[in-house]
Amino acid sequence: MERTSQTDMAFLSEVAARFGVPRRRLAVAVEAAERLSREEFALLQELLLLQTLGLERRRAMAEGLREAMEQYRTAHSDPLQDVDDPIENREAAVAVFWSDVEARANRARLLRGCVSAEEAGRLTGRSRQAVEKQRRSGRMLALRSGRQWRYPVWQLDADEPGGLVPGVVEVLERLPLSPAGVALWLTTANPELDGETPIQVLRNRQTDRVVSLGSRERLATAA
């Protein structure tokens, strides 16, 4: 960190005391805001969203991140040299942990865009019972949250049959994925759709493009 002036130190001390944050932590946060790129700072913001994982899981995540950074700094000149080396138990555990963290983060993101059956019915002019019937028949996407089913808002369209964006049912029928997997597929930018998400393309009434892509995904999975 660049040398800090006495005025800066006094200001940091005052702010740290006001918010109950150690001055060193505050100084590091200021340095991060000044020096990190937008993408790097966005990563720090994402880490803050994972605080619900619990202290021990966050510590393990931080340790895994530190190890990854250290391995990057000391990497061989040939990035593929160690590809065929057996994975150590610790490395495997870290990989599994990061997969779990990513899955939890994706699920939390998806659930933020969901509503209850009652709200889904209100948005589409239907009863709660009708919404739940569509879910049970596999004709409406829903994610489990505790003991409740939550319905992604982006699939709803009150002006369409069934209250759904055209093509959603066809995708549900074709993709051999879990409900969360289908939701992630529909909301992830796809290079075969010119970088748009499948749900965006469906909303633009280009149903055939998405349904065809979903069918190809099914064949690739089966192969």
Give residue 193's pLDDT.
93
Closest Cα partner for 202 from 179, 182, 221, 219? Answer: 182
pLDDT of residue 1: 42
58: left (phi over 0), alpha (psi -120 to 50) or beta: alpha
- Work out the mean pLDDT of the chain and round it to a whole number: 78
pLDDT in tens, 128-148: 999 999 999 999 999 998 889
User: Whose CA is closest to 113, among 151, 159, 169, 139?
Assistant: 151
Q: What is the pLDDT of residues 39-76, one digit of tens each?
A: 777 777 777 666 666 666 667 667 767 766 666 566 55
**Which CB contacts under 8 angstroms, 24+ apart, belong to 118-123?**
119/151, 120/151, 120/153, 120/156, 120/163, 123/153, 123/156, 123/158, 123/163
Please state the domain extents for the chain: 111-222
Nearest to 179 by CA among 215, 216, 139, 129: 139
Residue 119, pLDDT > 90, answer yes
Question: Tell me, what's the pLDDT at 33?
Answer: 79
Tell me how far apart the alpha carbons of residues 213 and 216 are, in angstroms, rounded to a whole number.
5
